[in-house]
Structure 1
Amino acid sequence: MTRERATKVVVIGLDCAEPSLLFERFADRLPNLSRLRDQGVWGKLRSCDPPITVPAWMSMMSSKDPGTLGYYGFRNRADRSYEKMTTATALAVHEPLLWDFLGAAGKRVILIGVPQTYPPRPINGLMVTDFLTPSIASNYTYPPDLKEEIALLPEVHPYEFDVSDFRTPDKGKIRDSLIRMTDKRFALARHLLTTKPWDFFMMVEMGTDRVHHAFWQYMDPNHHRYEPGNPFETVIVDYYVHVDRKVGELLKVLPKDTHVLVVSDHGAQCMDGGIALNEWLIQQGYLVLHESPATPSRLESLKIDWARTTAWGSGGYYGRLFLNVKGREPQGLVAPEDYETTRDRLVSELEALGDPDGKPIGTRVLKPENLYRTIRGASPPDLFVYFGNLRWRSVGTVGTGQIHTFENDTGPDDANHAQDGLLIAAGPGIAPAGPIDGMQLMDVTPTILRLFGLDIPADLQGRVLKPIASHEEALA
């Protein structure tokens, strides 16, 4: 049986929203999101590798993996030199995105806060850029005069792209900033949805990510710093309840025939600690410094003996490890014929690295060619390191002499990312079907294209999720 084509689709993105919290632990306190679940389909949404905001949202919106996109995090090597790095903004996005396909079909689009949309570019509709936007002094809208309209909205101005410092120890300040930022984002969403023409609307709220990183230790009895009855114990659940209320207010202004998808790009989990990747490389003889620092220092600030260095790494929610290959890097040491044996040795040794007591932590070390259809970009990592399967952060600084740490090198941070985000979909023709398995974030774009009855480009890597958009539906 053929379904009617969608006329309007809304995507509410909640960065880092964790399925175990939204679907289980907090579910009875989230009436609007739970009602959407009951009305449609839902389940875990497998993220990309690596499961972080950049590149995950663009992988979702392009239906291409990060290898095809050509960037593997916020910061990437610009070339094969040792020093030059670039930040992956919208300028790094070269693949067509969902709203490009929709615009070409004449659909009007409104976007708010979708990561990697700054700086803005022309679309068939309106765009308000993302958390990478420097400030409201920047050109952050398309068309440019939309910025002037936003400045006249008392509920929204001054607009906030992110909390100013979600790793500050001033937890009360973060809590208040999160609520203020979220209220402004949803107020802007309601304004644009009710005053502008649109066929497709998408917003992404970053607060769900920030609240996990700032407050997980106060909520989770499994966190090594958890104290029962602490004053911030309910901040995360209170924030989810607040977001649920804002989602409910947004749903009330939507036409009744709207298809609604709620998605997150990855999940969250307790951070057990950190592994100082470069300290380990130094101790194992893979990374050689001309002089050891007297205090903890960023690797980029130190003098590295590149002629004697085999590998070095970058910190973050996951580790990126680079080999110093002869003929590829300026002072390469690893002969090309030894490249695979060197990588295999590093994989084996890193996966065997345990906790401070030597107990296994389940580290996974992945080769990019096993993750992606193709590998682009000036200098992709040679290995991806998921310490403790992402329960341990990769720490890039050196100078402590310790491999294991329980202090974050970039400021207080309680949570790491998890590989499963979530998806809820409800709307005309979507029968209540309970949880569905096997969803991946690259499936979102082809599914929405099918909802609109549009052809799906052959090079998209995702598939249509049949419980949401029937495979038998007639195409345009």
Structure 2
Amino acid sequence: MAHDRPVFITDRNRYLMKLLIIGIDGATFDLIHPWVDAGYLPNLARLMSNGVYGNLASTLPPVTSPAWPTFMTGCNPGKHGVFDFIQPSGADFNLVNATKIRQPTLWQRLSAAGYRVGVLNVPVTYPPQPINGFMITGILSPKGGQICYPADLIGRYKSNLGEYRVAPNIQYKPGNEAEYIDDIYGLIKAHGNWGLHLMKSEEWDVLMMHFIALDIMMHALWRFMDHSHERYEPTPFEFAIRDGYKLVDEYIGRMLAQLADDASVIVMSDHGFGPLRKMVNLNVFLLEKGLLKLNRKPFTQLKARAFRHGMTPAGFYRVLERIGMQNLAA
């Protein structure tokens, strides 16, 4: 008899204490400690006071795409094979995905041992892997791709929860802060609501729930709350990041309320966060020092000439945005 999914041997008669893992991308104690002390994050405060907490070392580099595979596999990037969001392939660059991870993941090992696993929105999990349980993939999943396992998982619940959202619908640009913040909060709610529903509706022994929205938000809006930032200015958006943390904390509380008293809970991040004050483009530095040579292809020379006149790829995209042609370059 043919099976459309792997068969896992599970002894459902044995007693299993549940484990809930909550990933908060980019979370930092630099923000959590003062906001816990001020009473804004009561559920994180409860976990910290009743359990243990501390700083984790991230990967080298401390970036989302290699850090989560390191958590998944217990191996450093040199062993699991993911170093960045992109992977060079000859003259081209491809986005990394789960097929680039060279070591077995936590959910594969748990599945093989007979445990039932749920994985929600964790980066670098696309395409979804057959596991003993269920999976919805996270960022780096292509639009229109098959993002869940089993294949009908989202279809079973979207009439109640709406279409699943992997990432924001709106990209930040100066002037759209209010709309952007509403969209980010909507993403937190979508992930939280799906997580809560699947906690109740599906069987699981270990569940990994990941919130990506705070990381994306802090990249865009950090300067609005940081009075020491060179680009700080008083705006109505000063507390947007804090309120995003509060919203995630509320969902953590609702998840904890669904657990038995003997369940174990881990809250973790892939890296910390802070202000970006300066950047170094190593290729430009090497070019200026005569340590890098450009090939003579016309397109390469055209790009170099444009760069010398201040036209970067980001600047070119902003020009296209102003004339409504950005989608042609996407």
The 5 Å alignment of 1:416-455 reads: none
State how 1:140-289 maps to structure 2 within 5 Å.
Answer: 140-153=147-160, 156-169=161-174, 170-227=176-233, 229-289=234-294
Q: 1:60 aligns with which of 71, 75, 78?
A: 71
Match of 2:5 in 1: none
| SS class of match (1:126) | strand
Match of 1:302 among 300, 310, 326: 300
1:193-230 per-residue CA deviation (whole Å, 9 max, x = no partner) reads 11111100001110110111011010111211101x31
SS at match of 2:273: strand
Q: Is 1:399 matched up with 2:298?
A: no
CA distance in 2, matches of 1:27, 1:292: 59
With over 3 angstroms needed to count, the CA separation of the structure-2 counterparts of 1:123 and 1:58, relative to structure 1, is: same
Matched, 1:115 2:123: yes
- CA offset digits 1:304-347 (Å, max 9, x no partner): 9xxxxxxxxxxxxxxxxxxxxxxxxxxxxxxxxxxxxxxxxxxx
1:290–1:133 distance in 2 versus 1, CA, 3 Å: closer
| Cα distance change of structure 1 residues 63 and 120 upon mapping to structure 2, 3 Å threshold | same
Structure 1 residue ranges (4+ consecutive) displaced by more than 6 angstroms after TM superposition: 407-412
1:92-107 equivalence runs, <5 A: 92-107=100-115
1:66-77 equivalent positions in 2, closer than 5 A = 66-77=77-88
Q: Note if 1:15 corresponds to 2:15.
A: no
Per the alignment, do residues 91 and 139 of structure 1 end up closer, same or farther by CA in structure 2, a change over 3 Å counting? same
Against the structure 1 CA distance between its residues 187 and 410, is the aligned structure 2 distance closer, same or farther, given a 3 Å change threshold? farther
Counterpart CA distance in 2 for 1:215 and 1:177 is: 14
- Structure 1 position 100, deviation (Å): 1.4
Matched, 1:34 2:51: no
Deviations 1:82-123 (A, max 9, x none): x12222111112211111121112111011001111111200
Tell me how far 1:69 sits from its aligned partner. Answer: 1.2
Partner Cα separation in structure 2 for residue 74 and residue 181 of structure 1: 21
CA deviations 1:155-208 (Å, max 9, x no partner) are x31211111344433212220111111111111111111111110000111011
* CA RMSD of superposed structures (Å): 2.7
- 1:60 & 1:251 partners in 2: Cα distance? 22
Contact kept? 1:120, 1:129, Cα under 8 Å: yes
Secondary structure of 2:61's match?
coil
Distance in 2 (CA, whole Å) between partners of 1:247 and 1:210 is 19
Kindly tell me: are residues 281 and 85 of structure 1, through their superposed partners in 2, closer, same or farther at Cα, counting changes over 3 Å? same
Matches within 5 A, 1:294-333: 302-303=300-301
Sequence identity, in percent? Answer: 34
Distance in 2 (CA, whole Å) between partners of 1:397 and 1:242 is: 47
Higher helix share: 2
Letter in 1 for 2:290: G
User: What runs of 5+ residues in structure 1 fail to find an aligned partner?
Assistant: 294-300, 305-395, 413-476
1:140 Cα deviation from its structure 2 partner? 1.1
Say whether the 8 Å CA contact 1:9–1:259 is kept in structure 2.
yes
SS in 1 for 2:178: helix
Change (3 A) 1:398 1:284: farther
Report the Cα distance in structure 1 between the residues aligned to 2:92 and 2:220, rounded to whole angstroms.
30
After TM superposition, give the deviation of residue 410 of structure 1 in Å. Answer: 9.8
TM-score when normalising by structure 2: 0.84
SS at match of 2:274: strand
SS in 1 for 2:209: strand
Per-residue deviation, 1:148: 1.0
Query: Is contact 1:15–1:204 with CA below 8 Å preserved after alignment?
Result: yes
| Deviation readout 1:30-79 (Å, 9 max, x if unpaired) | 0000110000000111101011110100101100000011221011212x
TM-score norm. by structure 1 comes to 0.59
Structure with more relative contact order (C-alpha pairs < 8 Å, separation 6 or more): 1
- Could you say what secondary structure the match of 1:282 adopts? helix
| Contact 2:79–2:102 (Cα < 8 Å) also in 1 | no
Residue 138 of structure 1 deviates from its aligned partner by 2.3
Contact 2:116 2:206 survives alignment (8 Å): yes
Distance in structure 1 (CA, Å) of the matches to 2:273 and 2:136: 26
Listed as ranges, the gaps of 5+ residues in structure 2 are: 1-14, 319-330
